[in-house]
């Protein structure tokens, strides 16, 4: 039995919309997790960080990152980055495709096809 697929992101994000459209067009069942919802909890982020490095998940190109105070952006470690991502979900690169023991960050139709098509 294959693990459930979760696509996490923010509803109005263009790359999330593209990923959702690709999954729908290819008739792949998935659960959508809005990073701004109450369902997105520290436990979920902790699971992701067991699979990928926090530096791969933290979006330092976002407007949210640029808007942080300087003291929030220096001397980061995993715990501080996790706290920032929980406080500001738009700091998480998206979409995040969680496939049980694997995570794909960002959207690429070619990569999704490789990961999800038999």
Catalytic residues: 13
Gap between the Cα atoms of 31 and 44, Å rounded:
14
Gap between the Cα atoms of 66 and 3, Å rounded:
36
Q: Are strands 31-34 and 96-98 parallel, antiparallel or unpaired?
A: unpaired
List of residues 6+ apart from 4 with CB closer than 8 A: 29, 30, 31, 100
Tokens of 37: 């919802």
Contact 3, 29 (CB under 8 A): no
């Amino acid at each position: 039995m294959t693990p459930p697929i979760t696509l996490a992101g923010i509803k109005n994000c263009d790359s999330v919309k593209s990923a959702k459209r690709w999954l729908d067009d290819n008739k792949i069942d998935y659960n959508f997790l809005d990073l701004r919802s109450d369902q997105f909890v520290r436990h979920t982020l902790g699971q992701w960080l067991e699979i990928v490095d926090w530096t791969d998940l933290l979006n330092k190109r976002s407007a949210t990152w640029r808007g942080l105070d300087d003291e929030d952006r220096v001397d980061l470690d995993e715990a501080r980055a996790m706290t920032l991502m929980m406080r500001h979900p738009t700091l998480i690169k998206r979409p995040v495709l969680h496939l049980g023991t694997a995570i794909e960050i960002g959207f690429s139709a070619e990569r999704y096809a490789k990961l999800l098509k038999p």
